[in-house]
Structure 1
Amino acid sequence: MWVLVPITAVCLGLFVLGVAGNVLTVLVIRSYRDMKTTTNLYLGSMAVSDLLILLGLPFDLYRLWRSRPWIFGQLLCRLSHYLSEGCTYCTILHITALTVERYLAICFPLKAKVVVTKRRVKATIGVLWAFALLSASPFFFLVGVEQPENQTDFSRECKPTPQALQSGLLATMFWVTTCYFVLPVTCLSVLYGFIGRELWRSNSRLRGPSSLLREKGHRQTIRILAVVVLAFVICWLPFHIGRIIFINTRDIRTMLFSQYFNIFALQLFYLSASINPVLYNLVSKKYRAAACRLLLPRRAAERAFTVTKDAGGYTETSASTRNEYTTSF
């Protein structure tokens, strides 16, 4: 009990923060034309994915407090696990695709002008969602409401099925999930290395006002994405370590350690779905200005917007509109 109370308080706080923040992100991107850049289309889709992940938090809290009986039925048992896995895959695919897009925009700007368009980005986002949800589909059949024979309804529990455990399919899918984390993170590390090298070289090449403005936009975008990726790795690494521990558990002592470690990892997992809007607000003056325009009364919003413009964090120019594939938050 002494462990569950603070955990519940933290999780509920993350739920409120995450839902409010991600809804705000979606509204900010949808409400203003200058926010509808190719980069922000990815970030808006990620916000939707994070919202769906957060929908599973109340069910996880219920299982922490009362693993049995499961009162929500077979469909919600399977759907909560499936959406959690599918949206997890979707988020990492979005981050990877977004980094590839930034790599093209910075290292091959002329090619990016042709290749990276809003229409193609929207199509790419649709493919990412379809691939992620399809990849996670086995989880829909690996869990279910289990009830031992000759037991009352009170013993019903939402958990992996005996067939999934005995056949090794659950362990296999856990390793697939881990690959979904390790391989993209490796790819991101390589791409950010190339991006960093190109930005370093460009310092000595770019001298004109328009080039300096574009360079500033690139650096702001990379700063935001780097913070998002770092938060993603920190929050999700314990989650995958916990799964590896779980599938290799052989004794009671390791099982107890696995349970407590996974409770800790679960909080970081939901933190990753809640923290991105906070990061946007801290790092991006443009996001803060747009949020003020959306939330505050008109005069207060205009005053905040003017302060932000004077601080040099947001510039409205025809050049930035024409080259919106190079700018974001």
Structure 2
Amino acid sequence: MGSITNDSHFINDTDYYEEQSSSLFDIHILVPVTIISIILFFLGVTGNVITILIFKQRREMRTTVNMYLSSMALSDILICLGLPSDLYRIWKYRPYIFGDFLCKFVFYLSETCTYCTILHITALSVERYFAICFPLKARTTITKCRVRGIILGLWVWSLLTASPILFLFGVEHRNGSLPDETRECKYIEHLARTGLLETMTWVSTIYFFLPILCLTLLYGLICRKLWSSRHNLRGPQAASREKYHKQTIKMLAVVVLAFVLCWLPFHIGRILFAQTEIILYDVTQYFNLISMILFYLGASINPILYNVMSQKYRQAVSKILNYGQVWHSRSLTRSEKTSLEGTEVSSFM
């Protein structure tokens, strides 16, 4: 997972299990965690891929809101792709067999996408604030072209601010030990002593808690605006627009709440582990395990929330699945027809 401090504390306790198995947990813990992780992986990848397909293929779904959500779905897919690496490392922490580049890249990609998801949620909430509180101004300023530019900027900024991770992490082995047996994907100790580890921990913490403060303020202002304007609605178009805004805000609020609940333990763990030198080994390991599962749940749950809360989304998913079934049945029909023609020709011959 995109865990700087959490993963590093898997390593800080290496002395404890130096003579033990290379697994971090007992088998009765590893098996259910593995099953849950596999389910989350497939839910996250397939659900977010379907989300992107819906927003790209369905013309009526190509709104500025859905542009943010589809980009966020891509970010969540990339986060989920880091799950197999984390799963491998809790089964067999060392030796790390995938090399220095993959070690760096997995951490960097996960951290980048973590920042990117947070920024997307914040930018989308700012857009909804302007659309609801300043509708006339928003109509001219919020365009698809500008939203594309903002989304590109969010990705570039996330890639840049996460770049120190490429220098902070790598494959190392303990001095005096055999490299082939003790290679670990971890933070590089001499760089961590310079303060880079603690700096990146605080960067990721600010990335989480500052947007949460911003989101709380924005949704408070939006709710006040919707509450104060409920008596001023005139005409069916105004009522319809107000209903659309309320439905959108309700869905986004649930997405934000799920995001906070799933990622909060992860960031609390980072702060505690960065500031506390003596921590109980068992407590830290199991807390890390729970926060890892919740972290990946956060990257997997959005398509489920869209499906539950949006009728348009459900209809679009149904159409895509039905199209897949029709295409499959047509291919089977063509294949059966070809097979039948082949049989007739061979019989004739």
State the TM-score, normalizing by the size of structure 2.
0.84
The one-letter code matched in structure 2 to 1:238 is: P
The one-letter code matched in structure 2 to 1:137 is: S
Q: Partners in 2 of 1:53 and 1:297 — Cα distance?
A: 28
Aligned to 1:219: 246
Per the TM alignment, residue 49 of structure 1 is displaced from its structure 2 partner at its CA by 0.1
Q: Deviations over 1:206-241 (max 9, x none)?
A: 031000110111011101100000000000100001
Q: Partners in 1 of 2:228 and 2:174 — Cα distance?
A: 65
Which of 47, 53, 57 matches 1:21?
A: 47
Which of 93, 116, 119 matches 2:142?
A: 116
The one-letter code matched in structure 2 to 1:242 is: G
Q: Deviations over 1:259-296 (max 9, x none)?
A: 21011000000000000000000000010011111111
Aligned to 1:50: 76
Aligned pairs for 1:75-90 (under 5 A) are 75-90=101-116
1:155 and 2:182 aligned: yes
Moved over 6 A (4+): none
1:94 and 2:108 aligned: no
Aligned to 2:287: 261
Q: Deviations over 1:34-53 (max 9, x none)?
A: 10000000000000000000
Q: Partners in 2 of 1:238 and 1:96 — Cα distance?
A: 20
Q: Partners in 2 of 1:286 and 1:102 — Cα distance?
A: 19
The one-letter code matched in structure 1 to 2:208 is: F
What secondary structure sits across from 1:130 in the alignment? helix
Q: Partners in 2 of 1:131 and 1:191 — Cα distance?
A: 22
Aligned to 2:256: 229
Q: Deviations over 1:190-219 (max 9, x none)?
A: 000000001001110003100011011101
Q: Partners in 1 of 2:324 and 2:110 — Cα distance?
A: 39
The one-letter code matched in structure 2 to 1:84 is: S
Deviates more, 1:3-12 or 1:273-282: 3-12
Unpaired runs of 5+ residues, structure 2, are 1-26, 327-349
The one-letter code matched in structure 2 to 1:11 is: S
Aligned to 1:70: 96
The one-letter code matched in structure 1 to 2:206 is: C
Per the TM alignment, residue 249 of structure 1 is displaced from its structure 2 partner at its CA by 3.5
Q: Deviations over 1:165-185 (max 9, x none)?
A: 212210111111011000000
Question: Residues 245 and 258 of structure 1 are in contact (CA less than 8 Å); yes or no, is this contact kept in structure 2?
Answer: no
What secondary structure sits across from 1:293 in the alignment? helix
Q: How many residues align?
A: 299
The one-letter code matched in structure 2 to 1:64 is: I
Q: Partners in 2 of 1:83 and 1:242 — Cα distance?
A: 20
Aligned to 1:107: 133
Aligned to 1:326: none
Q: Partners in 2 of 1:136 and 1:4 — Cα distance?
A: 30
What secondary structure sits across from 2:171 in the alignment? strand
Aligned pairs for 1:270-285 (under 5 A) are 270-285=296-311
1:290 and 2:316 aligned: yes
Q: Partners in 2 of 1:258 and 1:178 — Cα distance?
A: 18
Question: Residues 106 and 218 of structure 1 are in contact (CA less than 8 Å); yes or no, is this contact kept in structure 2?
Answer: yes
Question: Residues 171 and 247 of structure 1 are in contact (CA less than 8 Å); yes or no, is this contact kept in structure 2?
Answer: yes
Question: Residues 242 and 262 of structure 1 are in contact (CA less than 8 Å); yes or no, is this contact kept in structure 2?
Answer: yes
1:248 and 2:275 aligned: yes
Per the TM alignment, residue 151 of structure 1 is displaced from its structure 2 partner at its CA by 2.5
